[in-house]
Structure 1
Amino acid sequence: MISEFRLNLPQVLAVSVKNVVLIGFGMALGFPTILIPSLQEITDSGNDLILNSTQISWISSLNLICVPLGCVFSGSFTTLIGRRRAMQLVNLPIFASWIVFYYAKHVSHLYIALCLGGFTGGMLEAPVLTYVAEISTPKIRGMLSATGSTCIIIGVFSQFIMGSFMTWRSITLVSSIIPIVAILLLFLVPESPHWLILKNRDEDAKKALMWLRGWQVTFDGVKFEFDELHKNLTARISAEDGNNDSILKPFKRRTFILPYFICSLSFFIGHFSGMTTLQTYAVPIFAQLKAPIDKYFATMLLGVLELLGTIICVILVKFVGKRKLTFFSTFGCGTCFLLTACYAYFIDDIPGEIVKNNIISNVTMVDTTTVISTTKLLTTESDFKPISNEYVSSFEISANEVNESAAILNGAQIHLSDYSWLPLIFLLTSALLSHSGIRLLPWMLIGEVFPGKIRGVSAGISGATGYIFGFLANKLFLSMIAALTLAGTFLLYSSISVVGCIILYMVLPETEGRTLQQIENHFSGKRKLPKTLIRKEPVSEEPFPSPFNVQSWESNEKFEKVLKQRNISQLSNGKIHHKHNAVGLKRKIHTITGAIHNNNDIVNDDTIDTHL
């Protein structure tokens, strides 16, 4: 019999290869963060591109705008050519984007590379999410799904590290190695058995399942799982073919609408609970809240805790379940932002509000360090450096007024110094909590809550929805700050977290440890999933349950031995006749086995004597 370690190892290896692809995607997402400062350094000998503020703003967001577009096409692309091959082909344009970056001589070259990387990164969503869900067993599926977000953060962090000692062109060469490595490694892992069965490639599906279930030598070890999987998929295909539905018909059923609602709700709560904007505007937020440590170091610490949160989620989801992690994460995040909002409200009593409130609205409008330290007073209008004219019209203040406010701010800091660490602790805690639950929840759900036939397309649509919510969260943040102040914005984020926690409590099923068929039956209304974590490896749903508990085989074996001895004894005494053996004994066996189940499969002489 294959050990559990050997059973899980090939699944872990296959998902690890998939995660190499996500590390490359994370590097593409993090590259603009180090590219923009490099392009602003005129003295850099390797910099021959000088950009204005408008061009820099496009560089910061262009790849993110293209990601949802790629997500929309990723589903049909994945369904057509397969999960593994889709991941391989998408890495080719990602490699090309790094080469374009390296040889870029004009801003248009940067735009092309960003669009190419963002679009193809979106194309990755469906294959990577469906692949891990379809190759893994329910026992470790949640844990393996959560590793994807961890690897994206690792990719982003790798860019931060390389950016501290390498030029941006050198970084593009190093980054271009990852897509090639990913393509080669993907040749070593099998295709999804689900997709192979849907394409009537049963022999290939058998080989893939044998590889994924501990490198089985014979088909007998996976025959039961394959037969059940084949039966469920072919029955579903036959039913759908018999209905002659249109292409859009599956997307009008509750098996798509309910999962899509839950995934979209999770994305909305995750992005509008505050962490998305905190990631983007971490430096000015920490500056306005007067963090007691360097604001750039605080931002780096924020990223470390986000990574730590994803690792915690990977470890705990198997033992705690998705529901409890989500509720603890969402409620905790809401509490942290509520406390930060209270702190931000009280610091609004400090004079100089125009300067202070515009630190967020326009990051480089005022040299905030100078304003606080008063080592250099602002004396001319040229000391104000607006990025755009969007907020300048509301910013009318003389240099003398700024200097006066700076002096008051400097004195007020004495009273706030004892409490300045509070918002830092709250926001860093929210980063840890959000990435241990709500931020990873939709990415874990996407691969397992949709029906197999439309899983790829549905994953792409859901992923696109998530990126759109992320874009809106960042886009609306500045307007919310202007209308509600920082305290009011954080209070809104806290309210969204708490209300979202209540809604998820009512609609979110516990999918951890459940088979894909059980999850589909839940959303189709056939059989509801309980909202508690399953503690044992789920068995296939047979039409007639076995009278014996396979996980208590020793007790059942003892029962068979005792029953056999009783039958021999009774036969020798002439107590069992043919008619009794054919009908009565069968009824007694069912009675005994029922009693065994009710007594946790404990078999002893008293159990036999009671029912024979």
Structure 2
Amino acid sequence: MKISAGVNSKVKEKKPIFQYLAAFTGTLTIMTSGMHYGWPSPSLPILEKMVNSSLVINHDEGSWMAVMPLLGALIGALIAATIVDILGRKRAIYITCFPFFAAWIMIAFAKSLPILYIARFIAGISDGWAFTAVPMYIGEIADPNIRGLLGSGLSSAWIFGILLINIIGSYLSITTTALISSIVPIVALLTFIWMPESPYYLVMKGNHDEAKKNLQTLRGKEDVDNELDRVSLAVKAQTQNTGKFLDLFVTKSNRKAVYIIMTLRGAQQLSGTTAITFYTQLIFNEAGDDISSELATIIYFSVQFLLTIFCSSIVDKAGRRPLLITSLLGSAVALFCEGSYFFVKTRTDVDTSSFSCIPVISLIGFVIFFSSGMQSIPILMLGELFPANVKAFALCLADMYFCIMATIVSKFFQIVKDSCGIDVPFYVFTASCLLGLVFIVLFVPETKGKSLEEIQLYLGGKTGREKRGEKTGKVEV
């Protein structure tokens, strides 16, 4: 009995280890993406101050430099949607390391603006590819009780990448920063290549033996027959008809999931988060506080990183909806305070020197609330809401939608700031947060603790079955 108890205890203790390792090494590609996205914040002020150089840029060229990865991500998402069910989730993820690495090398030795544009476009292709494959992979390998934690880790890795590039880029040259950054995709490749393939994908390909082996590795136990049967039934039910892009809109459950994702990603981007990420140092320069813009930027992203980790640790306990609602409400208040400060400073004769800390406090307040829900949960739910036969198309569509929205919002910020004043975009972002709050309250369901199969039952309108399943601990499929 003692030996048996010891073995059971050991198995239980190691249960999530490979799930954590697979999720962590996979999200290193997302961290690289964050570094590319955050690169304009410390780098654009350097490029704009250059004289007698072929790399000197103006505000408009800088704005296109900032959004270039978003345009590349449109292509990357389309490619990933085509090949992720052919190559597999694992291969699709580690292949992104090569263009990520190439983009950093091009940035390091660029002698002209077109080379920088091309490099950032290539990085965007990898980004769209990674943000299609990684959420899918994590959603399929994770236990329901830790899926929220692992899925939210995508945002934590992305924000850490933005923080890291702001720290390095604020104090080192563009060339040195790029060369140091190129190490990350190499580490991602060398670590993730050893991780197991998604059991869902292997079952889709009829490789049940390998799927069982990978489930045993991921769960840390030998007896996975029940889970393998459940996965097999779910995949069979979801893939009995070959998925098509139009199935996202023809099938009721898929259509409902698309509406939910569009609502979440739309509310996320219309809050202005990507524009603020691109222009953080510029915003703090405009504020004119005593604290340096570099230090304020590092504090901003440090707070965002820590709060995103905190959200990841509680999302499986607090639930998705409460965090989303709190996040948007607090973000709206912080953005309104930010806009009001700039309104008073630029449009009135009031001396704001005694209140110059307000924009820093307001933006940090925004990042605290935004990171407590809206930063990570929309990405987490990408891997939860769609069945296997259309998941690649869904994640492709969601990433394309994100890129279009983020590009529009970022260009909107630059154009409106230059033509109407910096206070105007912050007021628009405030109104957008309040509108998004209404839509989330009305349309976004709670997925906490539900298996991927239970979520599909809910989206299909089978709420009675789902409730009976929650009471008995079983789900009718």
Q: Common fold, TM-score beyond 0.5?
A: yes
Structure 1 residues 260 and 529 mapped into 2: Cα distance closer, same or farther (>3 Å)?
farther
Distance across 1 between alignment mates of 2:428 and 2:299: 25
Structure 1 residues 78-93: aligned runs within 5 Å: 78-93=84-99
Structure 2 residue aligned with 1:496: 432
Please state if 1:318 is matched with 2:316.
Answer: yes
Structure 1 residues 110 and 528 mapped into 2: Cα distance closer, same or farther (>3 Å)?
farther
Partner amino acid, structure 1, of 2:392: G
- TM-aligned CA deviation for residue 198 of structure 1: 0.6
Does the CA-based 8 Å contact 1:74-1:125 persist in structure 2?
A: no
User: Scaled by the length of structure 2, what TM-score is found?
Assistant: 0.88
Q: Tell me the alpha carbon deviations over residues 398-432 of structure 1, each in whole angstroms, 9 at most, x when there is no partner.
A: xxxxxxxxxxxxxx43xx44444334322211111
Q: Tell me the alpha carbon deviations over residues 513-565 of structure 1, each in whole angstroms, 9 at most, x when there is no partner.
A: 1100011111111227989xx8x9x944157xxxxxxxxxxxxxxxxxxxxxx
Structure 1 residues 51-200: aligned runs within 5 Å: 51-53=56-58, 56-200=62-206
Please state if 1:457 is matched with 2:457.
Answer: no
Indicate which of 23, 26, 39 corresponds to 1:15: 23
Unaligned runs of 5+ residues in structure 2 are 1-7
- TM-aligned CA deviation for residue 33 of structure 1: 4.0
Structure 1 residue aligned with 2:360: 424
Structure 1 residue aligned with 2:255: 257
- TM-aligned CA deviation for residue 75 of structure 1: 1.7
Distance across 1 between alignment mates of 2:110 and 2:293: 32
Please state if 1:541 is matched with 2:471.
Answer: no
- TM-aligned CA deviation for residue 285 of structure 1: 3.6
Does the CA-based 8 Å contact 1:330-1:501 persist in structure 2?
A: yes
Structure 1 residues 178-257: aligned runs within 5 Å: 178-214=184-220, 216=221, 218=222, 221-238=223-240, 240=241, 248-257=246-255
Does the CA-based 8 Å contact 1:12-1:144 persist in structure 2?
A: yes
Structure 1 residues 165-564: aligned runs within 5 Å: 165-214=171-220, 216=221, 218=222, 221-238=223-240, 240=241, 248-291=246-289, 293-347=291-345, 350-351=348-349, 412-413=350-351, 416-481=352-417, 485-527=421-463, 539-542=473-476
Distance across 2 between alignment mates of 1:105 and 1:292: 35
Aligned Cα RMSD in Å? Answer: 2.8
- Equivalent position SS for 1:21: helix
Higher relative contact order (CA 8 A, sep 6+): 2
Unaligned runs of 5+ residues in structure 1 are 352-411, 544-612
Distance across 1 between alignment mates of 2:131 and 2:390: 14
Partner amino acid, structure 1, of 2:379: W
Distance across 1 between alignment mates of 2:353 and 2:57: 38
Distance across 2 between alignment mates of 1:48 and 1:246: 50
Partner amino acid, structure 1, of 2:446: E
- Equivalent position SS for 1:509: coil
Structure 2 residue aligned with 1:357: none
Distance across 1 between alignment mates of 2:85 and 2:201: 8
- TM-aligned CA deviation for residue 184 of structure 1: 2.2
Q: Tell me the alpha carbon deviations over residues 274-298 of structure 1, each in whole angstroms, 9 at most, x when there is no partner.
A: 3333333334444555545334432
* Percent of matched pairs sharing the same residue: 26
- Equivalent position SS for 1:449: coil
- Equivalent position SS for 1:514: coil
Distance across 2 between alignment mates of 1:97 and 1:526: 47
- TM-aligned CA deviation for residue 10 of structure 1: 1.5
- TM-aligned CA deviation for residue 476 of structure 1: 1.5
Does the CA-based 8 Å contact 2:167-2:298 persist in structure 1?
A: no
Structure 1 residues 295 and 156 mapped into 2: Cα distance closer, same or farther (>3 Å)?
closer
Structure 1 residues 191 and 127 mapped into 2: Cα distance closer, same or farther (>3 Å)?
same
- Equivalent position SS for 1:171: helix
- TM-aligned CA deviation for residue 160 of structure 1: 2.4
User: Scaled by the length of structure 1, what TM-score is found?
Assistant: 0.70
Q: Tell me the alpha carbon deviations over residues 109-153 of structure 1, each in whole angstroms, 9 at most, x when there is no partner.
A: 333322211112211111101000000011010111111111112
Does the CA-based 8 Å contact 2:166-2:298 persist in structure 1?
A: no
Does the CA-based 8 Å contact 1:228-1:540 persist in structure 2?
A: no
Structure 1 residue aligned with 2:4: none
Structure 1 residues 472 and 424 mapped into 2: Cα distance closer, same or farther (>3 Å)?
same
Distance across 1 between alignment mates of 2:466 and 2:362: 34
Indicate which of 20, 35, 38 corresponds to 1:27: 35
